[in-house]
Structure 1
Amino acid sequence: MSATTPLEPAASWYAASANAAPERPPLSGEVSCDVCVVGAGFTGISAALHLAEQGLKVMVLEAACVGYGASGRNGGQIVNSYSRDMDVIEARFGARTAQALGDMAFEGNRIIRDRIADYAIDCDLRDGNLFAACNARQLKGLKEHQALWERYGNTSLELLEGDAYQREVSAEGYTGALVDHSGGHLHPLNLVLGEAAAFESLGGVIFEHSPLVSLEHGSPVVLRTAAGAIRAERVVMAGNAYLHGVLPELEGKSMPCGTQIIATEPLADDVARGLLPNGMAVEDCNYLLDYYRLTRDNRLLFGGGVNYGGEDPADIEALIRPKLLKVFPQLASVRIDYAWSGTFLMTLNRLPQFGVLNDNVYYAQGYSGHGVTCSHLAGRLISEVMRGREGRFDAFANLPHLPFPGGRLLRVPLSAVGAWYYQTRDRLGL
């Protein structure tokens, strides 16, 4: 993360309800390690924890604080697979690549659950998430989606046709739903804080408020901040959407995007269960999708939309509240207690970008809205490739990293035009 990264945490419900965490000092002076990880979000902490478990000396540089970026601000949904599924991957890149990525499509979910169990992380884990169809075309897509995932080993799916979805969501307007009982939802900031504590329990070191100023390639790599330097045999770049100016060769092949979330006041038990009787997390199937779930204190957390370029809108509540009321008009008088924005990194083909620069600088980024699970997979694959097991990492690294048409100047307006096209199709049911 660069020195221009803002350091103020989001005024989110997650931040307000976060578990206690120690204050970690910034880097001062010169130190050395086996591996330096840049970025203390899911990707960075996942990689750091896997590497520390192997007995390596690992240090993490973070410009702000653990979980500052998308890892501590997202919808908290454990959604399997990737932003592009295996049928699209097979059509574009062949059956061998689709099989390789398909074999890992549900692994990130399992890693999260293992971390929670192994390190006793308190992060409000609940089972089950649901994909809601808004028209007949989307319901047909969910049937195909079920068959696809079952082919790759997910046997925890349940199709709810017609009004059967109201068993899980007391809302009008959907044409059906697909339940993934192996999915779920949680408090993402508390998850990454718990994983950071697990990493530190193994001797790992995290330097907060330490923006990276420069990276000098070589052996070792030298990473400099305003007040110190780390000499590392290998480096993991895990800044994702907040990595500005340090590796410019990657920036034209991805685009920061913002998504907004609101959280209501705590709802009475009967009201909360009247919305989501079994506490499922929900996302619809629109191109610019809405997503929502209940928190542990019965708030409805509701998010949606995409702001290309990552700039925060002036009034998040005004933007998201109408979406909430379209689904649950009975909440018209409910107060909104929190509203915040989070920035994720989108790629042109909507698939993550993994790679290695100069043989010892590894990177993983660009999950395109599916980062909770895939970032945990990325951490494991980085630890594997550093042990000489390249195959699974290379299955991602060999995917093309495509530049956005029009470059950095035109990627935002061109993406907005594309989104308008797909939104129109969703509204017309095409």
Structure 2
Amino acid sequence: MDLHSGACFWPLVNGLGLVVPPLDRDLACDVAVIGAGITGALLADAMTRAGLSVAALDRRDVGEGSTAASTALLMYDIDTPLHRLRERIGRADAERAYAIGVESTRGLSRLCAELGVECAEPGSIYFVRDDERVDDLRAEFAARREAGLEVEWADRARLESEWGVRAAGGIVSASAAEADPFHLCHALLRRAIGAGAAVHDRTTVTEIEVLDGGVALHTDRGPRVRARWVAHATGFEAAASLPRGVVDLVSTYALATEPTAPAPGRWADRRMLWEMADPYLYLRWRGDRLIAGGADVPFRNERLRDRLIGAKAASILKDLGALLPGVALETAFAWTGTFGATRDGLGYIGAPQGRERELFALGFGGNGITFSHAASAMLTDHVLGRANADARLFRFGR
């Protein structure tokens, strides 16, 4: 599957990044990671720092899958609002899922600081456009306050005066960050390689052979990788190997504007915006450009998805114009990607029943990178035989 098409912003602004060779010899390691995007990079980095030997393989160039299409809003928000998630899985578990998001957002910010990767922590606004949605948003605000999250309420007048945002209401949060996912992916892989990891791209895993006490990965290049565990970090491509109903594939669209600026006297903190809707609009600043996305539709095939880029970019730009009437907007780059959604908005982390040597780090949803950060800790604990109380929230078969 081609996970994206169009003019993805991050590879364009970064240029050629980390260059690694294809697999050219047999390897043996503790953990073989399939996928060398941001999720695979987080796994490789965490596991090597824990003293495990790791080999990561990707059929593309590193970071050129979903990572290249990500808008990288690092937020604790889950696609299912907290007050609704409490109804689905119980208050304690729902609040813990949101707390994990806060911890992961902070953890990602620390990683960026360690690695010298550009990262900002401007905070966020979770908003509704229409008055009829305000009561629902107030219920979400109450649930977040009850969970101990640091949030404030912003009414229509405050949204307009402080940020120049034309919306009916918003939840203002300090716990949110934004980064360059392509740069972060490459920096993590460089550190993992420096700690002894083997990373090879342009190498396709064609078969996973289960052995006594481990696995063998066969590749299109010929050499094999023997490992005690295999960790799938292929994102939405992994859906083909999972039971039906685990994830629904979605075509999503994004754009980056030409250089612009907020209305005079507005939006000094450059907060990110995320709409409480389905599908939802989301946006962030990157320097003097806005990066925005949304207009999701169910994925049918790549050809249909790609054909809609122009129309969907125009729709997103129109929505931005209504939301931000004081900002001059013109599309510079537009792209599309295939992502996934789950029934409860949570990712899947761990081993499916009957596949004990196969671990999955699937951060589905709008905050997939924060789930991937959580997965790097959970799967490292799993391989090392350490208990992790949070793993059950993301288990298969839940």
- TM-score (structure 1 length as normaliser): 0.82
Paired residue secondary structure (2:254)? strand
Equivalent pair of 1:220/1:234 in contact (CA under 8 Å): yes
- CA deviations on 1:247-285 (whole Å, 9 max, x unpaired) are x34455222212111112222x4x576774431211222
Match of 1:325 in 2: 318
Equivalent pair of 2:30/2:228 in contact (CA under 8 Å): yes
Q: CA deviation at 1:232?
A: 0.5
List aligned pairs for 1:219-258, cutoff 5 A: 219-227=213-221, 228-243=223-238, 245=240, 248-250=241-243, 252-258=245-251
Residue 307 to residue 8, structure 1, CA distance change in 2 (3 Å)? closer
Residue 51 to residue 158, structure 1, CA distance change in 2 (3 Å)? same
- CA deviations on 1:302-342 (whole Å, 9 max, x unpaired) are 21111212632314132222332343266998542211112
Equivalent pair of 2:295/2:315 in contact (CA under 8 Å): no
Equivalent pair of 1:350/1:366 in contact (CA under 8 Å): no
Find 2:130's aligned residue among 120, 131, 135.
135
1:177 aligned onto 2:174: no
Match of 1:369 in 2: 366
Cα RMSD of the aligned pairs, angstroms, is 2.6
Greater Cα offset, 223-232 or 382-391: 382-391
- CA deviations on 1:213-250 (whole Å, 9 max, x unpaired) are 111122320111101211011111111212365xx344
**Cα separation, 2, equivalents of 1:365 and 1:137:** 34
Letter of the structure 2 residue corresponding to residue 11 of structure 1: A
Find 1:307's aligned residue among 297, 305, 312.
297
Structure 1 unaligned regions, length at least 5: 402-430
Paired residue secondary structure (1:106)? helix
Equivalent pair of 2:38/2:182 in contact (CA under 8 Å): no
Greater Cα offset, 343-352 or 87-96: 87-96
Equivalent pair of 2:349/2:360 in contact (CA under 8 Å): yes
- CA deviations on 1:196-223 (whole Å, 9 max, x unpaired) are 2222222222111112111112232011
Match of 1:389 in 2: 386
**Cα separation, 2, equivalents of 1:244 and 1:397:** 16
Greater Cα offset, 92-101 or 123-132: 92-101
**Cα separation, 2, equivalents of 1:327 and 1:154:** 28
Equivalent pair of 1:259/1:304 in contact (CA under 8 Å): yes
Match of 1:405 in 2: none
Equivalent pair of 2:254/2:293 in contact (CA under 8 Å): yes
Residue 96 to residue 13, structure 1, CA distance change in 2 (3 Å)? closer
Match of 1:207 in 2: 200
Letter of the structure 1 residue corresponding to residue 273 of structure 2: V
Structure 2 unaligned regions, length at least 5: none
- TM-score (structure 2 length as normaliser): 0.88
1:166 aligned onto 2:166: no
Paired residue secondary structure (2:18)? coil
**Cα separation, 2, equivalents of 1:23 and 1:398:** 35
**Cα separation, 2, equivalents of 1:164 and 1:44:** 41
Instruction: Give the share of equivalent positions with the same residue, in percent.
Output: 22
